[in-house]
Amino acid sequence: MVGRPRSEESRRAILQAALRLCERDGYPNVTLKAIAAEAGTGRQTLYRWWNTKADVLLEAMTAVVAPGLPPSPPDLGSFLRETFALTDGVAGRVIVGLMAEAQSDPDLGERLRTRLIGPRRAALREVLERDSPSSHANLDLVVDMIFGAMWYRLLNRHASVDAVLAEEITELVRSLT
């Protein structure tokens, strides 16, 4: 291996600049040009390590969201409250933007599923299994309906995703067992 090594400083500057711009202008209005300018790097440096702005934000989000998964799952209410709290602020705007962009970029959709959505689904399933082991309900369907309600509200914006929703869902799921 020869040659100049990748600049860790530029990498961090780019990821932070991307998040900062998403917070200020909203995900859809962020451009790769602006990210490079904000981070003080050349545009080629961006294109060398990432392909699209979605790539950059996906990596930035993984760093933000990934540690949010505790090893031993708490009860359903706590899990939902914590997950829903993540959708508040920049993280929510970014992940909604990523999901929207994934509709025109199948590769991004694939990475979104494996890196962000899939792990959360698995975690919720674990919580449900532990919380109601005797239930004969279709767990995958329950997962779809819980996270479905969350995504539906995030995208359609007809209601908020907050602790109230977490509580209502928890009550409804209890009545299933």
Among 17, 159, 164, smallest CA distance to 90 is for 17
Q: Round to whole Å and give the CA distance between 91 and 95.
A: 6
Span interacting with a copy of itself, options 6-14, 60-68, 71-79, 146-154, rule CB under 8 A: 146-154
DSSP state of 113: I
Q: Between residues 41 and 55, which has the closer beta carbon with respect to a copy of itself? A: 55
How far, in Å, CA of 27 to CA of 9, rounded? 23
70 binds a copy of itself (CB under 8 A): no
Place of tokens 């705007």: 93
Rank residues 7 and 177 by Cβ distance to a copy of itself and give the closer one.
177
Q: Which residues bind DNA (CB under 7 A)?
A: 1-7, 10-11, 31-34, 40-45, 47-49, 51-53
Alpha-helical (H) ranges within 67-117 are 76-86, 90-102, 106-112
Residue 120 binds: one of DNA, a copy of itself, none (C-beta under 5 to 8 A by kind)? none
Confirm if 175 and 142 have CB atoms less than 8 A apart. Answer: no
Task: Summarize as ranges the residues that interact with a copy of itself (CB under 8 A).
Answer: 26-29, 96-97, 99-104, 109, 112-113, 117-118, 121, 137-138, 140-142, 144-153, 155-159, 165, 168-169, 172, 175-176
